[in-house]
């Protein structure tokens, strides 16, 4: 008997890893996944926010199975240990959501000639190399356990169009899009799908804590967005759950824009 859309959409990986799981889009997605019965392994740089995230999830979903790991995704042996420990404690992974990333006013709203080597290296090492570290270990683990699965990575519309005065962030996010498209071709035959999400702007601490909302930058983005507002993180989480679910089984190597029509 074939399943209907709702049944397919509720077919989710039993164990899902989530980077950036302590905040914003990663946390919203982890909360949804836990409510839908997935065990979630959250990794984030911020140990205090991770504790708060775990208690939020436990309050909402008392039966949730959660593991939290304080981790810098730039630390590749640390990423490998996190994935191995997740499989030991929660079971084999067949879903991964990679949301950890950094944008801040200092390297995101600045002409290239004013961008220091340190700012460039920081944006690229976290957003691109750190994400690659995670995808590499996730593919390795799913391949080793012969698990079919779905790996979702948060890119940005800045991975599809140039963000003026944001060359380091833009270059890193274009790199993520390339990573997704390339690795999807390697892993498709293993039944491991790789997809990307390209948000416009989303009302998370990345935006609200970094003074973007005070300046012209935010006003211009709101004015240019046909829906006239930023997304809530839960709206991005809904797309993430769909891409992890059995309702998206023929999506691979695709990048899904969610921007209220900003770059339409
Ligand atoms: N908010 C937006 O408007 C927007 C738009 C497009 C793309 N994105 C992307 O969405 C993703 C999630 O961002 P968000 O908006 O939820 O922001 P956020 O700041 O709320 O969450 C990002 C999380 O990543 C974690 N993190 C940062 N560096 C890390 C590292 N080296 N190792 C491990 N964890 C690290 C942070 O501690 C934080 O908890 C990012 O990749 C971001 O680039 C966000």
Q: Domain residue spans in the chain?
A: 12-257
Q: Does domain 12-257 have CATH number 3.40.50.720?
A: yes
Percent of the chain with pLDDT over 90: 90
Kindly state the average pLDDT of the residues 175-187.
98
Kindly state the average pLDDT of the residues 29-36.
98
Report the atom number in ligand 1 closest to the C-alpha of 26: 16
Report the predicted TM-score, pTM, of the whole model to 2 decimal places.
0.97
105 pLDDT above the threshold of 90: no
User: What pLDDT score was predicted for residue 208?
Assistant: 78
Q: What HEC string does the chain produce? A: CCCCHHHHHCCCCCEEEEECCCCHHHHHHHHHHHHCCCEEEEEECCHHHHHHHHHHHHHHCCCCCEEEEECCCCCHHHHHHHHHHHHHHHCCCCEEEECCCCCCHHHHCECHHHCCHHHHHHHHHHHHHHHHHHHHHHHHHHHHCCCCEEEEEECCHHHCCCCCCEHHHHHHHHHHHHHHHHHHHHHHHHCEEEEEEEECCECCHHHHCCCHHHCHHHHHHHHHCCCCCCECHHHHHHHHHHHHCCCCCCCCCCEEEECCCCCC
Active site residue 173: yes
User: What pLDDT score was predicted for residue 108?
Assistant: 74
Nearest CA to ligand 1 atom 1: 202
Kindly state the average pLDDT of the residues 132-138.
98
Ligand 1 centroid to residue 58 C-alpha, Å: 22
Active site residue 250: no
């Amino acid at each position: 008997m074939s399943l209907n859309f709702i049944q397919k959409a509720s077919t989710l990986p039993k164990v899902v890893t989530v980077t950036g799981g302590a905040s914003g889009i990663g946390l919203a997605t982890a909360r949804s996944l836990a409510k839908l019965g997935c065990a979630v392994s959250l990794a984030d740089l911020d140990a205090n926010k991770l504790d708060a995230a775990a208690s939020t999830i436990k309050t909402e979903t008392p039966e949730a199975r959660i593991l939290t790991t304080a981790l810098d995704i730039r630390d590749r042996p640390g990423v490998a240990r996190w994935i191995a420990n997740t499989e030991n404690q929660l079971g084999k992974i067949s879903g991964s959501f990679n949301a950890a990333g950094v944008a801040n006013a200092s390297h995101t709203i600045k002409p290239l000639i004013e961008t220091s080597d340190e700012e460039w290296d920081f944006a690229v090492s976290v957003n691109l190399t750190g994400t690659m570290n995670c995808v590499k270990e996730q593919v390795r683990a799913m391949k080793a356990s012969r698990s079919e699965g779905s790996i979702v990575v948060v890119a940005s519309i800045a991975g599809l169009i140039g963000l003026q005065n944001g060359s380091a962030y833009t270059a890193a996010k274009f790199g993520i899009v390339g990573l997704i498209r390339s690795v999807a071709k390697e892993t498709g035959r293993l039944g491991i799908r790789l997809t990307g999400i390209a948000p416009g702007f989303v009302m998370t601490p990345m935006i609200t804590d970094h003074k973007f909302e005070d300046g012209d930058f935010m006003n211009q983005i709101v004015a240019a967005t046909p829906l006239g507002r930023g997304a809530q993180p839960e709206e991005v989480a809904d797309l993430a759950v769909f891409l992890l679910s059995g309702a998206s089984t023929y999506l691979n190597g695709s990048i899904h824009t969610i921007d209220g029509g900003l770059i339409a």
